[in-house]
Structure 1
Amino acid sequence: PRSRPLLVPFATATAAAALVVASLFAVQADKTQDQLDAQRARASEIANVLAAPDARAAAGEDAQGRTIGVIASASAGRAVVTLSGYGELSSGRVHQLWLMRPDEQPRSLGLFDGDTPLVASGLDKSATSLAVTVEPDGGSPQPTSQPVVQLALKSVGFGE
């Protein structure tokens, strides 16, 4: 009987390990590409608001020096909103942005992800202010707490 060289099992194991490593790299590359695509889309949304001919900025500050800033375009119905100084919330809590209009329930515009600007869409001329509340992780259909900050939108072309 012929004996099998010792290198065959070693080569097979090495090839299998190389396939596993290559697969892991492919998965990571795909995940990284998805993150890059999402960041590019957000940057494009922000650029579109900033480039709008009617884009205007406003900011507000609370008693502790924390700020909310907005650059909004009434014609586009969009705004870029930033929070500064609010820090990280305890586990299971998020900052949620609300559109406030007279005689209507607040409408969620999204959740803040740390200091990342939030691009809000669907603003209409009746919008009077933006409010930020602290909500359970994942957000709420309606505010469950008083706003930690609120910013009137009249100076940026809304609430007319």
Structure 2
Amino acid sequence: GGPPTPERSRPLGRRPLLPPFATATAAAALVVASLFAVQADRTRAERDTARDRAREIAHVLAAPDARAAHGEDDGGRGIGVVASASEGRAVVTLSGYREPSGDRVHQLWVMRPGAEARSLGLFEGDTPLVATGLDRSATSLAVTVEPGGGSHRPTSRPVLQLTLESVGFGE
């Protein structure tokens, strides 16, 4: 035989590049997958909310006693309502109003004689608001501009008010 073959060894201190690269890639993939999962959940929740709102609106519109009313102020800004007294619900829209400035919101109130105004919710841009829990004693709907998140009681005079007699309320 001949002389023994010397063993090849790697120089100390050098490691292969692939394992750290693979680890970093896997970590990045997990982060991206997590972000996609969060976005998918958010999108699913938004879709479910929109679907539920559409069902509520359709339910009010399909009620046998559903009636519509509309009111405008001197500037042509308006409020529209389709209400069902038997269902105790109304679909309310605003038109011509910009989003309030700063951290302010449009809030909808139901008015009754001899009772404090009760909040029916906050408008989100031009999305219709489905007001529930109305009873026949409700005489009008009022819209105020309130601090972000809304108020327990109106803190300003109504920017718009609509009587409900023509849609079966106010008895």
Which SS does the other structure have where 2:109 is aligned? strand
TM-score normalised by L of structure 1: 0.96
Q: Shift of the alpha carbon at 1:146?
A: 0.9
Tell me the residue number matched to 1:80. 91
Report what 1:147 is aligned to. Answer: 158
1:51 equivalent in structure 2: 62
Q: Distance in 1 between matches of 2:25 and 2:61?
A: 53
Find the structure with the greater CA-based Rg: 2
TM-superposition CA deviations, 1:2-39 (whole Å, max 9, x none):
67532111111111111111111111111111111111
Secondary structure at 2:70 match in 1 = strand
Amino acid at match of 2:125: G
Q: Cα RMSD (Å) of the superposition?
A: 1.1
Structure 1: runs of 5+ lacking an equivalent: none
Scaled by the length of structure 2, the TM-score of the pair is 0.90
Identify which range, 62-71 or 135-144, moves more after superposition. Answer: 135-144
Residues 6-85 of structure 1 correspond to what in structure 2 (within 5 A)? 6-85=17-96
Separation in structure 2 between the aligned mates of residue 95 and residue 73 of structure 1, nearest angstrom: 23
Distance 1:58 1:156 in 2: 7
Counterpart in 1 of 2:106? 95
Distance in structure 2 (CA, Å) of the matches to 1:153 and 1:72 = 9
Question: What secondary structure does 1:43 align onto?
Answer: helix
CA distance in 2, matches of 1:106, 1:30: 36
In structure 2, the partner of 1:120 is: 131
The equivalent residue for 1:134 is 145
